[in-house]
A and B are shown apart, each in its own frame.
Chain A
Amino acid sequence: MDSRESSRFTAPLTQRVAEDADARQIADAIGAMWSDIDAALQPVLGRRGVAALFKRTLHLTTLRYPWLAPLNGGTVDGKADLAELTELFASQRPAIVMEAGSSLFMTFRELISSLIGARLSEQLLQTAWSTSSSAPPAQDPTP
């Protein structure tokens, strides 16, 4: 994945949080973004289908951020885990939260792209990416 593509991907997360946001705010944004992805994909792939993708994403992300490991044990199945995810993120330093969150979504995107192709993935996730009504206005990406 080239850097332009990855910045396009992480943009939704950076758009959702203010620059001086604390860990809790970033964690909530990650939680909200995941909810949006879930809402966009669930009608098409089914609840269990999306849950399976999320579980795989977490597994891959945990390799780099071992503190996410507690999420890997149980069945990833719905909202309870989302709350747990947000809590885990909120307990880290803001910079780490931002980095791990971006990595989480990037991994997810790579995963789904490898399965159904980048184009179809984008098409399906369009609604999730564009949900930014509560976010601060979009900024031009810094060069």
Chain B
Amino acid sequence: MTSKVTINSLPTGVPGLDELLGGGLPEFSFNLIAGQPGCGKTTLAHQIMFALASEARPALYFTVLGEPPLKMLRYQQQFAFFDPAAINRRVRFINLSEEAMAGDLDHVLARITEEVAAHEPSLVFVDSFRSVVLATDAGGHAHNHLQRFMQQLGMLMTSWQATTFLIGEYFTDTDANPVFTVADGLIWLRQSVQRNAMVRKMEVMKMRGQPSLPGLHAFRINGDGVQIFVPAPVAAPQALGGPGSGRASMGVPGLDDMMDGGLPRGYSLLVAGPSGSGKSILAAAFLNAGVLNGETGVIAAFERRPGRMHSNKALAQAIDNGRISLVESHATDLSIEEVMQLLAHEIRRLGATRVVIDSLSGFELALGPSFKDDFRESLLRLVTSLTGLGVTVLMTSELEDRYTDLRFSPYGTAFMTDAIVVQRYIEVDSRLRRVLAVVKVRDSGHSDQLREYRIDDDGIHIGTMLADQEGLLGGRPTTRREGAAA
């Protein structure tokens, strides 16, 4: 009879980390948290420790050299997860500076063994491991000593059924460091500084036996500790959408007809137009139409200053009533994953059916510089994830006032949306007038008309075609003369 061992996965208590690790922390694993000073190693370790330690199986946190424990305690207790009542009960700090200063790894190991035997911890942390390495005084045999120390420590911890973390500063990840070989898990924290923005990123370089998420993932440290923004699982678009499964009214008289009865539910719509053409007004009308229909919505506003959103009374009221949730961010170092997380949270909370992103241009500006390179890819992921949640999405996109070419978005994003409405300025009789057209509604017999529209306090009013003008998209139409056509 063979029965294979089941490796339990421990929930780390760090938002996003379980997903990143590929399903939690394998029990009795021997892990390394590495990164440069100040990148959040100790914070991550503490957060995991306070989440997992219990009185029956406490956590031991060995402080070696490096940061004095007094300072560590002073700063770590600022985080919400730090529970002073847990100290000396489910969490024990043990200082090994004397042993480490003596420079003898055997002493350090002996002391660790002694404490582990005394407390039978479920979790063991050694912070920082680099100081253990630096303290090694082995006259040229440091490498061998360290390797032996590592192996013994790894063996000891696993035998004592302890999940272990070594916290260390390693400046290069290419070092053939013996620690990397012995470790079951390797969590690397990085800080990417570009221009005046700093973004923290985490990479699980190794996690034995688990399908960890590859690549760098943004994380943030705030009063609650570390929060990692992992990509939302991209669900297959739901059976919503497509013709016949209901349409969402746009809230602008006439526009639904132009779109063959409204925007099919589960679709994404791009509203493109130059500054001031009324994209945000159209977006607000779309949300209000939902509210009137008993639906809820979420609006992500990146551009407007706080308070300006309230210039639209109906929308402001819906926000006040909690029918529409306003997701605002004025950070300059957002990642798409973080935005997605914010949106998904609000969508689930309200059971929202309509989502507006106003605008993509502002959204791009709000991203950290290091995220801008993959803006298109990330945006595609965002759109797919959102429509995967079953919501109908409207995004606005700023167009340059350029008449020589017909473009719908500066990002090449037009192909990823299911529908496009474009707004343009035209000059007629020395006046700046506005026209709009439905360029695309996938699988729908939408209108092909260029219709004039005007904006007043009640919103957008769509008029007729300017049948007597031609060359509208060139921005300077001419009056068509009867019989002039060849």
A127 partner residues in chain B, CB cutoff 8 A: 88
Q: Which residues of B, 311-330, contact A by the 8 Å Cβ criterion?
A: none
A41 to B94, CA, bound (A): 10
A126 to B93, CA, bound (A): 15
Q: Mark A29-60, 1 if CB is under 8 A from B, else 0.
A: 00000000000001111111100010000000
A123 to B98, CA, bound (A): 24
A45 to B74, CA, bound (A): 12
A116 to B84, CA, bound (A): 10
Partner of A46, one of B69, B77, B85: B69
A45 partner residues in chain B, CB cutoff 8 A: 68-70, 95
Task: Count residues on chain B whose CB falls below 8 Å from chain A CBs.
Answer: 17
Nearest neighbor of A46 in chain B, beta-carbon distance: B95
| Shortest distance from the beta carbon of B39 to any chain A beta carbon, whole Å | 23
Q: Is A137 an interface residue (CB 8 A)?
A: no
Decide: A43 near B87, CB < 8 A? Known: A116-B70, A116-B77. Answer: no
B87 partner residues in chain A, CB cutoff 8 A: 44, 120, 123-124
Q: Is the CB of A123 within 8 A of B74?
A: no
Q: Is A119 an interface residue (CB 8 A)?
A: yes
A42 partner residues in chain B, CB cutoff 8 A: 95
Q: Is B97 an interface residue (CB 8 A)?
A: yes
Q: Is A136 an interface residue (CB 8 A)?
A: no
Partner of A49, one of B77, B85, B92, B95: B95
Q: Is the CB of A117 within 8 A of B95?
A: no
Q: Is the CB of A49 within 8 A of B69?
A: yes
Give the interface size bracket for A toward B.
10 to 19
Q: Is the CB of A123 within 8 A of B95?
A: no
Q: Mark A81-123, 1 if CB is under 8 A from B, else 0.
A: 0000000000000000000000000000000000111011001
Nearest neighbor of A53 in chain B, beta-carbon distance: B70
Q: Is the CB of B69 within 8 A of A117?
A: no
A127 to B68, CA, bound (A): 22
A59 to B228, CA, bound (A): 46
A residues in contact (CB < 8 Å) with B: 42-49, 53, 115-117, 119-120, 123-124, 126-127
Query: Can you name 28 A-B pairs with beta carbons within 8 Å?
Result: A42-B95, A43-B93, A43-B94, A44-B69, A44-B73, A44-B87, A44-B95, A45-B68, A45-B70, A46-B68, A46-B95, A46-B97, A46-B98, A47-B97, A48-B98, A49-B70, A49-B95, A116-B74, A117-B84, A120-B77, A120-B84, A120-B87, A123-B85, A123-B88, A124-B87, A124-B88, A126-B88, A127-B88
